[in-house]
A = this chain, B = another copy of it.
Amino acid sequence: MLLRHTPTEIKEREALTVNPAKTCQPVGAMYAALGVHGCLPHSHGSQGCCSYHRSALTRHYKDPIMAGTSSFTEGSSVFGGQANLLAALTNMFTIYDPDLVAVHTTCLSETIGDDIPQIVKKAFDDKKIPEGKKVIYCNTPSYVGSHITGFANMCTGIVKGLVEHTGVAKDQVNILPGWVEPSDMREMKRIAKDMNVDICMFPDTDGAVDTPQLGEYKMYPDGGARVEDIATAGDSIKTLACGKWASEDAAKLLDRQFKVPYETIDIPVGLEATDRFVQALAKAAGVKVPDSFITERGRLVDVITDMSQYLHGKKVAIFGDPDQLIPMVEFLLALDMIPTHVISGTPGKAFTAKIQELCAEKAPNVNVKNGAQADMYLLHQWIKNEPVDLLLGNTYGKYIARDEDIPFVRYGFPILDRVGHSFFPTVGYTGGMRLLELILGALMDRQERDAPEIKTELVM
């Protein structure tokens, strides 16, 4: 066994986390910053943080992930990181010539108490920032929340730093996509386009972390939300914030600061969340949903009606991030699958309540936990106590899947051992079909693997 020390018996823990179902804030801030065109993320802390976050994102996307670091030494941690950040800003603009730098903090600079706004102001005052270049920032203390919190904080940082108030209303809808794949953001834009709705989407990592192989490296890829577009977000009709955890804060700020009303909706994963997304977008923009969406939707429904027998009643264990898990659990229920164990390391009371509400009718006994000690060690123990037919989660899930011999579908962050997630969306009706294909593939492969020769079926 790979996880041979995981016992069936569950002991209460209050201090120890084993095999976390989350990581810390800065990587989220870095990912969000990569969703702005011409932006160089910067990690204000020790070198290790930046190296770790770049490595994690690089392995997940198999694509270049660039970022600077303040390279703290013991000295800086004693005297403060101002000198490092000032030097870093100068050097980055001189050597790497980004349009803007997006600074996020780390547990180190947070513990020291570096005042980023003041330091950045000084950098401008001291003319260390070239004409027309920008610096945005956010605080991402690693000891608060999770990687999702960091993403949310950088979204807020983007609003703070880039959105302007022109007063001229713009007939467009802001979409904060939440922490989703570039493929998902591309699909959301496709949906808006097919609905003839002008949108302002940020962050947008489409074309930023899934760049083409052209024989030539571009440090600032063609993708990413344009600074000038983001600037207009204050003039939009409305903001759709996809995912309470990742997007709501930025939406609230747009509301407070620029009077752009917002609606928090689920990331459009699965049938019903996509229905709500499409309708919310139509409502916000005052358009009718085009008939082509009835067809798209109908195709997804058709696959479900056709294949329901392979899904119905199957028990599922799933772990990941709240904004993904909520619509995914809703989708599983629409497939008559049974969410059995649900884990997220990301804190937030609303989560368990929401999952329980969704499962109340069809899976009242669902095990759900998030936040402190809601880790994959507990998930594994739950599975040992109540086995499941399918495991959904990031690459780390494969250790459990192998030990317990459970069909496994990779979903979430990070996916370190397969390709596809950055190219094919899991959002929208089409994304729902992809999820179905993956889930059905896993379950049907298993049925065939376990079938005795007598029961081998040609047609399924």
Contacts and interface: CB of A to CB of B under 8 A. Distances in A.
A441 interface: yes
B402 A419 contact: no
A448 B408 CA distance: 12
Given A420-B437, A448-B402, A396 B458 contact: yes
A313 interface: no
Nearest to A442: B445
B302 A212 contact: yes
A421 to B, nearest CB: 10
Contact of A437 (B59, B402, B424): B424
25 contacts: A2-B453, A62-B302, A62-B306, A207-B295, A211-B298, A212-B296, A212-B301, A213-B298, A213-B305, A214-B294, A214-B298, A222-B295, A307-B419, A396-B458, A399-B456, A417-B444, A417-B457, A417-B460, A418-B440, A419-B440, A420-B437, A420-B441, A423-B433, A424-B433, A424-B434
A295 B2 contact: no
Interface in A419-460: 419-420, 423-424, 430, 433-434, 436-437, 440-441, 444, 448, 453, 456-460
A458 B416 contact: yes
Interface of A: 1-2, 59, 62-63, 207, 210-214, 222, 294-299, 301-307, 395-396, 398-399, 402, 416-420, 423-424, 430, 433-434, 436-437, 440-441, 444, 448, 453, 456-460
A315 to B, nearest CB: 22
B299 A212 contact: yes
* 3 closest residue pairs by CB, A with B: A212-B298, A213-B302, A417-B460
A433 B423 CA distance: 8
A458 B395 contact: yes
Which one of A307, A399, A453 has the greatest number of beta carbons of chain B within 10 Å?
A453
Contacts of A304: 213
A460 B299 contact: no
B213 A460 contact: no
B456 A402 contact: yes
A424 B213 CA distance: 23
A396 B459 CA distance: 10
Contacts of A211: 298, 302
A420 to B, nearest CB: 4
Nearest to A214: B298
A210 B418 contact: no
A289 B207 CA distance: 19
A407 to B, nearest CB: 11
A190 to B, nearest CB: 11
Given A212-B299, A418-B444, A424-B424, 11 more contacts: A59-B459, A210-B302, A211-B298, A212-B297, A303-B419, A417-B444, A419-B437, A420-B433, A423-B430, A424-B434, A424-B437
Nearest to A305: B213
A415 to B, nearest CB: 10
Contacts of A419: 303, 306-307, 436-437, 440
Given A214-B294, A306-B62, A459 B301 contact: no
A417 B459 contact: yes
A448 B399 CA distance: 11
A411 B457 CA distance: 18
A452 to B, nearest CB: 11
B2 A301 contact: no
A418 B444 CA distance: 8
A303 B459 contact: no
A259 to B, nearest CB: 36
B441 A418 contact: yes
A48 to B, nearest CB: 18
A63 B299 CA distance: 11
Contacts of A402: 448, 456
Contact of A460 (B212, B297, B418, B453): B418
Contacts of A306: 62, 419
Nearest to A396: B458
A63 B25 CA distance: 47
Nearest to A295: B212
